[in-house]
Structure 1
Amino acid sequence: MRVERGGGEPLEYDPTFKGPIRNRSCTDIICCFLFVLCLLGMIVVSIIGYAHGDPYRLVYPTDSQGDICGLGHLKDKPNLFFFDLVTCAKLGPAVVTGCPTPQVCVKECPSKNTVHMVADRSDLICLDKVDLNQSPYKEMTANELVKKNLCASYYLNSKPIVGRCVPKIFSDVIDTSTKMVDSDSNTTLERANGDGVTVKDIKEGTINLLKFFKLKGVAELLFNDVLNSLHLIAVCLLIGVILAMIWIVLLRWVTHVAVWLSIILFICLFGFATGFSFYKYIEVKNTNVTEEFQLPETFKFELDYFLSLERTWLIFGCTSGIILLLFLLIILGLCSRIILATNIIAEASVAVSHMWSVLLWPIAPFLLQFLVIAYWISSMACIASMGEKQFYNGTSDIHILLNRVPCNPEGNSTLSELCGFVKYGGDTYKTAMLIWMLFMFFWLMNFVLALEEMTLAGAFASYYWAWDKKKDIPTFPLISSFFRSLRYHTGSLAFGSLIIAFVQMIASALEYINRKLKGSENDVAKFIVKCLRCCFWCLEKFLRYINKNAYIVIAVHGRNFCSAAKHGFLLIMRNVLRAAILDKVCDFLMLISKLLITAATGAVAYFWFQREVPVVDEYVPELNYFLSPIMLVILGTYLIVDCFFDVYSMAVDTIFICFLEDIERNDGSRERPYFMTKTRNLRKFLKNKKE
C-alpha cells in the first residue's frame, strides 16, 4: 500500500505493540519541578495580597479622606458627592488619576439645583470634619466655607449611578451652552472661583468621571441582575444540557441524519435572521426615527435604544447574510469531505458508546478551571487593592496634576489647600505581582486543558487498539488514563502548557500596546502591532494543534513532549492534505452543533426574560439590563455544550491519529491485521484512501 510522503519514513510493523503501553517512565521531570516551584511562588504572592489588600476598595466609592462609602462609620452614606464636576471636565482622560475636587459620602444625592449664595446654611454639603455648629466653622460665612474647600459651591439635581451622584441632565434635550440656574431663586450657579456653571461643563465632567467608574458600576448592576434571576438561569442551562444529551444520542444512532439535519437547521437559522433583520431595517427606516440627540456612550446600556436605530438592523442583516453565503459555499465545496468526516464522527460515537463515562469527564476539568478562575480573581482583587492611602494636593491644572506632590491630610494647616485621597500606593511591586499572577493563570488554565486532552486521548486510544472492542477495553479506561497522565506525564503537560502561556503573555502585551496606541498618530507602529497580534494568534492556534497531537502520542507511547510532538507532526505531514481537510471539516460540523444548541437555549431565555411566556411570567424579576442573564445563559450554554462536544472532537482526533498509525504499521493481511473496527465507517475511509 502506498503511503503519502513528505513527513519522514512511515512507521514499521511491531508485533508487540497493542496500544497504550503500561511500562512507562516519568517524562520532562525538570519542567515538572519548575511547575511546582512556580505554583509555590503564586501561592506566596496570593498570601501577600490577602494579607494587605481589601477588595471593597475596588467596588465602593471612596471620599477625599480615603474612607469607603457605605462601610464602617459611613454605612448610612452609600453615595459619593463631588464638590465641583467642572474640574473633571478639564482633565479629560487624565481623570483616572483622580478628580481634584473634594468628595464626600452622603446619604442621599441632592434633589435640586442650588448655589451656596442663596442656599440655607443647613443645606450646604460639607466635608465630614466640618460641623457648622462648632467653632471655627460656626463663625464662617457660606462664601468663606466655599473658598476654603470646606463646602460645595453648588450642587445639582442628581441621582445615584454606580454609587456616585450624577446630575439628571442627560434625559433632557437642552442647549449645552446655557448656564445652569437655581430652580428656586433663579440665580445662576457659580463655582468657588466665580465662574459660571454650564450644562456643557457638567456633562463633560460627569462623562469623563464615569468613564473611569462605569465598569465598576456596570459590574455591580449586572451582578444584581444575575443574582435575582439565578433560578431561571439554572433552568435555562439545564435545558441546554438536555438538548446536548439528545443531540449526542442522535449522533450515536443516526449520525448521518443528525449531521445533515444540523446543516439544514443552520441554513434555516441564518436565512431567517437575514430576512428578519432586513425587514426590521426597512420598518425602522420608514418610521423616520432621527438621532439628533445622542446619549453619551456611558449611558448606552438599554437594548431598546440600539434596536431603534436602523443601522443596527442593517449590520445584523449584512452580517447574517455574509455568514449564510460563506456557509453555503463551504457546504458545496466540501460535500464529499463531509461524508467522510461523518464516518469518522460515527466511529467516534461508537467509541463514546463503549465509555459513556467520558461524557461526564468534562465536569472534572471544568470544576478545576472554575476553581482556578475563582482563586485568580480573588487574588488579583486583593493584590490590586494593596497599598497605603496616598493623598495629593489638588489642582485643576492637568500639567500640575500629573506631577503633584503628596501631602498629609492630618498635618495640613492650610484650609484652602485641598489634600485629597487619590489612590492606594505601592504600584511598583504590585504591578510585578499582577503580571506574575496573569502568567500563572494562563499556565494553569492551559495545564488543566492539557490534562483533559491527554486523559481522553488515553481512553479513546484504549478503545481503538483493543482487538476485541467488547472484551479487551480496560475496565476503567478513563480513570486509568487520568492516573497515567498525572503519575508519569505531569512534566510533559506543564511543558506544553508553558509554551502556550508564553505566547498568550506576549499576545496580552501586544494587546496592551495596541490600546495605548489608539490615540497615537503613529500609523507605522499601529500597523506593526496589528501584524504581530495576527502572527501570534496564528502561532497559538498552530501550537495548540501540535500540542493536541503530542498529547495523543504521549498517551499511547509514553514519550516526552518534544519526541511526541515530532512523532505526531511527521505522522500528520505524511497525510497532510487528508488530515488538514478532514480535521477542519469535523471541527466545522461540531461547531454547527454547538451553535444550534446554544441558539435554541438563548431563544428560550430571551422569550422568558422578555415575559413572552405567561407560565413563568410571575417568576421573572425586574432587571436593570434584561440582556445580562440572557448573555450569561448563552455563554454558559456554549461552555457546557463545548465541554460535551470537545469529547467528540478529542475522540475524532485520537481515532484519526491511531488510524494513521494503524495503516502504516499494518496492511490488513492475516499476519498484519488492522486494529480498526470491522464496521463500514473506517473501512470506507480506507477504501477511499487506497483509491
Structure 2
Amino acid sequence: AVPSCHELPSWDQGDAKKVAYAVDSRGDFCGQKNTPNEMKSLLFYFNILLCSSPVVLLKLHCPTTTVCVSTCPDRFLTFLEVQGRYTFNRSLWAYYQQYCKPGFDNPLKPGLLGRDSDSHPFHLFPTDFKRCFPDLSIQDSILRIGNQTAFLDGSGILRNVSDLQEAAKDINLIRSMKILGFKILEDFASAWHWIVLALVLAMFSSFLFLLLLRFCASCILWIFVLGVIGIVAYGIGYSYLEYRHLHTSQGAQMTILDLGFHSDYKAYLKLEQTWLLFLILLSIVELLVLFLLLFLRKSIRIAVILLEEGSRIIGHMPQSLLFPLVTVFLVFVCIGYWIVIAMYPSIIPFPSGILRQHQNQLLKIPSINDRFVIVTAEKPRKPGPESCSARLTPSRSPHWPVILWTLCFLPCAILAVLPPPYPSGIQLLQGRERSITIVVVAVTIPKNILVPYFVLSLTRYHTGSIALGAITLTTVQCLRFFLEYINHHLKDSKRMQSKFILCCCRFCLWCLEKFLKYLNRNAYIMVAIYGDNFCTAAQDAFHLVMRNVVRVAMLDKVTDFLLWLGKMLVSVSIGALGYLFFTQKLPIAAPTLNYYWIPLLVMVLGSYIIAHGFFSVFAMCVDTLFLCFCEDLERNNGSLERPYFMPPTLLKTLGKRQYRKLKKKVWKRVKHPTGHHSRVY
C-alpha cells in the first residue's frame, strides 16, 4: 500500500506517451495536430554538449532546453556571432530566432551569455538525415564540422569538435533505442497471436508431461535422459562432419578472433574453429551425462519412485496444477506494474526549482513528503515556459527493495500452500509431545476443497512467516545489487586488493543467497506441515537436512536435474518450432518481421517459465515427500511400536524392512463325520 500511495502523483500527472514521442521542454508534443506545433515535428536541443552527461542514459532525456522546429539548421552559427552582427545585419537574427523559445525577440537583452540561459540556443550546427544533430565529417583523418575543428560555445570558450561528437553519440543512442523499441513493438503486433499459440502449446506440453508421469514416470524420465544423450550425440556427429568438411575448404581456417564481431551469425558457421568448439563442448557434456548416469543409478531409481508417488497424490488434488498459472500470472502482473511505476515518475512536468531572485529575496524551496519540490515566492505565479522546462524525478530508491520482496513473496506463498496435502495423502501434525500422528487428509477434508482450505489456512496463520522469509532473501539480494553497482564503478580501478576483497564479498553473498533459497524452501514445508513459526521451522529443517545431508544432496538434486531436463526439452522444442516457422521452413505463412529473434526469444523464455511453473509443483511435492521420509526414517524403525509409513517400493529401494506381527496359532478340536477327533488350525 505504501508504494501505491507513494506513486499516486505519478499516475495523476504522468503521461506514458512522452516516453515514445518527441516532447519539448514545455511538455508539448512535436507534430501534434491542432496545436501550435502541428508543423514542427523535429526536436532541437539548445546545448547539445550537455547530452554527454550520464544522466542522459538514466533519465532517457538530455538535460537541456528543447523546442519543436519545422526544419533543422543548415549552417554553423553561434549566438555570440548573432549578437555581434545584430545592429547592422538582422537577417542572421531572423534565421536564428526560429530556434529560440517563442516570445524571445531581443538578442541584446542583458544576462544572455550565461550557459544556464534557457531562452535561446548557444550555437547552430549543420545537420543531416533530418535530425537536429551535428553533421560531423572526417577530412584528412581530422574530425570537422562545417570545415572547422573547434568552435566557441555560449560562454565564449573554445571547444573541440570531439566534445560535440561524444554528446551526439549519447543522444543518438537514445534515438536508436527508441527506433529499436518501435520496431520490436511492430514485430509483437504482427506475431503476438503466434507467440500466444506457442505459449499455449508449451502449457499443453507441460501438462501432458505431468499426466504421463502419473502412469509411466520411469519410462518418461528414462526417455528424456536417453533423448538428451541422443541429441548431444547427434550434435557431436554433425559438428565433426562440418569440421571435416571445412578443414579442407579455403578461407575456413580463419579464427573467431580474426573475424571479430558480426551481426550475421552465419559468418561464424563458415569457420572451422566454430565447429571444433562445438565438438569439444558437446563431447564434454556427453561425458558428464554418462558419468552421472553411471554413478547415480540408485538415486535415479529413488527419484522415480518419489515422482510416481507425487503423481498419484496430485491426481487426487488437481487444483494444485493451477498454482503454476497463478504464480506466472502474478509475477507478470508484478513486473508490468513496476515497469509502469518506473516509467511514469520520469515524465511529470513540474515548476523549475532553480534558485532565482524575486524582489531582492531568495525564493524558498520547501519539500513535500521529502519527494516533490515546488518553488514558492511571496507572490504566487503561474508556471510558464521557463518554469516548466525541467522534469520531476521522484526517488526510485524505495522501489527496488519492494520489487525484489514482491518477486520473492509470490513464489514463497505458493511454496507454502503446496506442502500440507502432499505427504503421500497424509498430513503430519504436531502433537503436544512433538509426536507424529498420521491423519488421512482425504477423510478429514474433502479433496475437492483441499487446496483452497490450505490457502485460507496459510493466509490466516502463516502470512508473517512467508513475509519474513522473503525479507531475509530480499536483504541479501539488495546487498548483492549494491556490490554489483560498486564493482561496475570500480572496474577501471588498478587496486588489486580492493578488487579481490570485492570479488570475495560477491561470492560469499551469492553462496548465502543460494543457501537461503534452499533453506526457505524446506522451512516453508515445515511451516505448512507443523504450523511452527518461520525461525523454528528453519532451524528444524536445517538440522533435518544436515542429519541426512548425503541422501538429500543425492536425491533432491537428481530430481531437480531430471525435471530440468524436461524444462529444457519443452523450451528447446518450442524454440525449434518457432525458428522453423519464422524462417519460413514450414509450409505455413509466417509474418514479415524486422527482428524475428525477438518473438522467438519470448517464445523460448515464456515456454521455459511455463514449464518451470508446472514442474515446480512436482519439485515441491518431491521435496515434501522426501522430508517426510527422512522424518519417518529418524522417528521409526519398522518395529511393531514404530512402523514405517513410506511406500513399500521406497522401503525396498532404501533397503529397509517392515516387521510384522506373526499370527498366533490357535488349535481347536473338530469332529469329523467318522466320529474321530483331530486338531486343525
2:17 is the alignment partner of 1:50: no
Structure 1 match to 2:470 = 497
Distance in 2 (alpha carbons) for counterparts of 1:632 and 1:84: 40
% identical equivalent positions: 30
Structure 2 match to 1:8 = none
Structure 1 match to 2:493 = 520
Distance in 2 (alpha carbons) for counterparts of 1:525 and 1:492: 38
User: Is the contact made by 1:229 and 1:629 (CA closer than 8 Å) also made in structure 2?
Assistant: yes
2:165 is the alignment partner of 1:177: no
Structure 2 match to 1:154 = 126
Distance in 1 (alpha carbons) for counterparts of 2:230 and 2:13: 56
The one-letter code of the counterpart of 2:643 is P
Q: CA deviation digits over 1:237-290, x for unaligned, max 9?
A: 122112212222332222122112111222333444556567388679528699
Structure 2 match to 1:685 = 653
Aligned-residue offset at 1:150: 7.2
User: Is the contact made by 1:358 and 1:456 (CA closer than 8 Å) also made in structure 2?
Assistant: yes
Unaligned runs of 5+ in 2: 79-90, 108-119, 356-374, 376-385, 428-437, 659-681
The one-letter code of the counterpart of 2:10 is G
Distance in 1 (alpha carbons) for counterparts of 2:491 and 2:102: 47
Among 313, 323, 346, the alignment partner of 1:351 is: 313
Distance in 1 (alpha carbons) for counterparts of 2:141 and 2:500: 40
Match of 1:616, SS state, is coil
Mark the CA change 1:215 to 1:328 in structure 2 (over 3 Å): closer, same or farther: farther
Distance in 2 (alpha carbons) for counterparts of 1:310 and 1:359: 47
Structure 1 match to 2:609 = 639
Q: CA deviation digits over 1:644-678, x for unaligned, max 9?
A: 00000000001111112223333334443333334
Q: CA deviation digits over 1:437-493, x for unaligned, max 9?
A: 221222222221111011111121371447769766742221111111101111111
Mark the CA change 1:287 to 1:437 in structure 2 (over 3 Å): closer, same or farther: same
Distance in 2 (alpha carbons) for counterparts of 1:191 and 1:557: 76
Aligned-residue offset at 1:592: 0.9
Aligned-residue offset at 1:197: 12
2:252 is the alignment partner of 1:286: yes
Match of 2:323, SS state, is coil
Distance in 2 (alpha carbons) for counterparts of 1:374 and 1:324: 40
RMSD value, Cα:
4.5
Deviates more, 1:506-515 or 1:208-217: 208-217
2:220 is the alignment partner of 1:258: yes
Mark the CA change 1:421 to 1:310 in structure 2 (over 3 Å): closer, same or farther: farther
Distance in 2 (alpha carbons) for counterparts of 1:523 and 1:150: 45
Deviates more, 1:47-56 or 1:258-267: 47-56
Distance in 1 (alpha carbons) for counterparts of 2:622 and 2:226: 23
Unaligned runs of 5+ in 1: 1-39, 138-147, 182-186, 394-407, 409-418
Distance in 1 (alpha carbons) for counterparts of 2:265 and 2:97: 39
User: Is the contact made by 1:83 and 1:153 (CA closer than 8 Å) also made in structure 2?
Assistant: no
2:324 is the alignment partner of 1:368: no
The one-letter code of the counterpart of 1:256 is S
Structure 1 match to 2:663 = none
Aligned-residue offset at 1:593: 0.8
Distance in 1 (alpha carbons) for counterparts of 2:77 and 2:180: 33
2:509 is the alignment partner of 1:547: no
User: Is the contact made by 1:62 and 1:69 (CA closer than 8 Å) also made in structure 2?
Assistant: yes
Distance in 2 (alpha carbons) for counterparts of 1:493 and 1:445: 12
Match of 1:521, SS state, is coil
Structure 2 match to 1:424 = 391
User: Is the contact made by 2:351 and 2:387 (CA closer than 8 Å) also made in structure 1?
Assistant: no
Aligned-residue offset at 1:192: 5.8
Mark the CA change 1:84 to 1:501 in structure 2 (over 3 Å): closer, same or farther: closer
Distance in 2 (alpha carbons) for counterparts of 1:350 and 1:516: 53
Among 636, 642, 657, the alignment partner of 1:672 is: 642
Distance in 1 (alpha carbons) for counterparts of 2:6 and 2:492: 34
Structure 2 match to 1:340 = 302
Structure 2 match to 1:589 = 562
The one-letter code of the counterpart of 2:343 is A
User: Is the contact made by 1:457 and 1:555 (CA closer than 8 Å) also made in structure 2?
Assistant: yes
Match of 1:592, SS state, is helix
Structure 1 match to 2:480 = 507
Mark the CA change 1:130 to 1:655 in structure 2 (over 3 Å): closer, same or farther: closer
Mark the CA change 1:557 to 1:526 in structure 2 (over 3 Å): closer, same or farther: same
| 1:91-130 pair list within 5 angstroms | 91=52, 96=57, 103-105=66-68, 127-129=98-100
Match of 2:397, SS state, is helix
User: Is the contact made by 1:176 and 1:199 (CA closer than 8 Å) also made in structure 2?
Assistant: no
Structure 2 match to 1:402 = none
Deviates more, 1:461-470 or 1:245-254: 461-470
Mark the CA change 1:289 to 1:209 in structure 2 (over 3 Å): closer, same or farther: farther
User: Is the contact made by 1:109 and 1:158 (CA closer than 8 Å) also made in structure 2?
Assistant: yes
| 1:10-29 pair list within 5 angstroms | none
Among 230, 237, 244, the alignment partner of 2:199 is: 237
Mark the CA change 1:168 to 1:657 in structure 2 (over 3 Å): closer, same or farther: farther
Deviates more, 1:633-642 or 1:502-511: 502-511
The one-letter code of the counterpart of 1:544 is K
Structure 2 match to 1:140 = none
Distance in 2 (alpha carbons) for counterparts of 1:106 and 1:312: 51
Query: Relative contact order (alpha carbons < 8 A, sep ≥ 6): 1 or 2 greater?
Result: 1
Higher-Rg member (1/2):
2
| 1:481-630 pair list within 5 angstroms | 481-617=454-590, 620=591, 622-630=592-600
| 1:649-668 pair list within 5 angstroms | 649-668=619-638
Q: CA deviation digits over 1:17-58, x for unaligned, max 9?
A: xxxxxxxxxxxxxxxxxxxxxxx3222212243235444444
Distance in 2 (alpha carbons) for counterparts of 1:151 and 1:238: 56
Match of 2:532, SS state, is coil
Distance in 2 (alpha carbons) for counterparts of 1:631 and 1:249: 27
Aligned-residue offset at 1:384: 3.9
Mark the CA change 1:332 to 1:67 in structure 2 (over 3 Å): closer, same or farther: farther
User: Is the contact made by 1:571 and 1:660 (CA closer than 8 Å) also made in structure 2?
Assistant: yes
User: Is the contact made by 1:84 and 1:191 (CA closer than 8 Å) also made in structure 2?
Assistant: no
The one-letter code of the counterpart of 1:672 is R
User: Is the contact made by 2:483 and 2:502 (CA closer than 8 Å) also made in structure 1?
Assistant: yes
Distance in 2 (alpha carbons) for counterparts of 1:440 and 1:126: 49
Distance in 2 (alpha carbons) for counterparts of 1:107 and 1:149: 16
Mark the CA change 1:483 to 1:155 in structure 2 (over 3 Å): closer, same or farther: same
Structure 2 match to 1:396 = none
The one-letter code of the counterpart of 1:643 is G
Deviates more, 1:640-649 or 1:67-76: 67-76
Mark the CA change 1:53 to 1:247 in structure 2 (over 3 Å): closer, same or farther: same
Mark the CA change 1:158 to 1:610 in structure 2 (over 3 Å): closer, same or farther: farther
Mark the CA change 1:655 to 1:179 in structure 2 (over 3 Å): closer, same or farther: closer
Match of 1:623, SS state, is coil
User: Is the contact made by 1:277 and 1:316 (CA closer than 8 Å) also made in structure 2?
Assistant: yes
Mark the CA change 1:325 to 1:291 in structure 2 (over 3 Å): closer, same or farther: closer
Mark the CA change 1:251 to 1:552 in structure 2 (over 3 Å): closer, same or farther: same
User: Is the contact made by 2:44 and 2:66 (CA closer than 8 Å) also made in structure 1?
Assistant: yes
Aligned-residue offset at 1:130: 6.9
